[in-house]
Structure 1
């Protein structure tokens, strides 16, 4: 069982990260899936996506849940039947789940040069402190994306602009946390976001 890492963020919040080493069959065989979940998996064209999706169900088991305990609202936000808060992410061969008594969001992304091509779509203020010649430029872009994505999942308000509504203050990759703001309908919401790097990936998680 490749449970890669467990992070106890606080007494109410735990993050679990899975490294997806198994085949599709090895991931599928131990699971009992709801009919609509099974149909969703079978309808996926990419085996990589299927394995990521199934690994999340294994992470649920690590928390003591089954697929039957998970459901999604009309906006695609996941929920647990017992009322605890959950957020889910997967990217290539890693997946992660955060479960808490508090509203949370999580994101994992692979660090890839191509993120620089779309940086202008999700960054505005942050360009003031970023330097394209910095050897850590791609890692910082990826961290900013993860921070904003984790906040987007936490705030759960469709239509929020990463570029216009989210602001990440200057940070160092060695800090492991940063402060970010959501500016929405003339109200500003402040959050401390935690992040970490491993094997060419970045993960960030936000707790309300």
Structure 2
């Protein structure tokens, strides 16, 4: 399937999402990979991971980039050679890429009940406004996880903890946006976050507020 969704949250930022319906061979057909990336794909044991990797390259092509335009720093954060900011995500049958003139992070997660079991591992403050009896409890947990993962990717700083250093301001599912904070090394960083749901998945992305 070609491009699934494109969003333009502002004039400097574009989000593109791909629904992965193609086979590995179909995805590989029109994509050039650097030798090191070819080797990386060949080492992947999961067919789903291989297809996710290639779908991201198709998204890069939608932005006018190739595999050669992408590189990673020592903290594992992706960068583009032209200096624009990029963040990448894939989960099961969806992948996403956001490109912006400012620092940015994105995450996609499948909505699953088991997130309730690990909620205490990634949030504390947020329990103050969440209600386990809320019909949207799992949805809200998934939004919070996606936002915090987006912040983690954006900040790309060793030692950053979801539990200790990030928080998400109360929100309603219908809002599709909220403010989030990183409080790290006695400095507070404020971010505008956007979230939305599709086909049992949640996507969130974060930009400096």
Q: Please give the TM-score of this superposition, normalised by the length of structure 2.
A: 0.98
- Does the alignment pair 1:37 with 2:34? no
Give 1:82's aligned residue. 82
Q: Spell out the pairing of 1:40-51 with structure 2 (5 A cutoff).
A: 40-51=40-51
Give, in angstroms, the shift of residue 114 of structure 1.
0.9
Give 1:72's aligned residue. 72
Give 1:163's aligned residue. 163
Give, in angstroms, the shift of residue 2 of structure 1.
2.1
Give 1:203's aligned residue. 203
Give, in angstroms, the shift of residue 155 of structure 1.
1.0
Q: Distance in 1 between matches of 2:24 and 2:101?
A: 32
Q: Helix, strand or coil for the counterpart of 2:175?
A: coil
Q: Distance in 1 between matches of 2:46 and 2:133?
A: 35
Give 2:120's aligned residue. 120
Q: Please list the CA deviations of residues 45-86 of structure 1 after superposition, one character each: whole Å capped at 9, or x if unmatched.
A: 100111111100000000000001001111110011111110
Give, in angstroms, the shift of residue 131 of structure 1.
1.3
Give, in angstroms, the shift of residue 110 of structure 1.
0.4
Q: Please give the TM-score of this superposition, normalised by the length of structure 1.
A: 0.98
Q: Helix, strand or coil for the counterpart of 1:144?
A: helix
Q: Distance in 2 between matches of 1:159 and 1:44?
A: 27
Give, in angstroms, the shift of residue 156 of structure 1.
1.3
Give 2:21's aligned residue. 21
Runs of at least 5 residues in structure 2 that lack an aligned partner in the other structure: none
Give the aligned CA root-mean-square deviation in angstroms. 0.7
Give 1:141's aligned residue. 141
Give 1:132's aligned residue. 132
- Does the alignment pair 1:180 with 2:180? yes
Give, in angstroms, the shift of residue 181 of structure 1.
0.8
Name the count of aligned residue pairs: 208
Give, in angstroms, the shift of residue 9 of structure 1.
1.3
Which 4+ stretches in 1 moved above 6 angstroms?
none
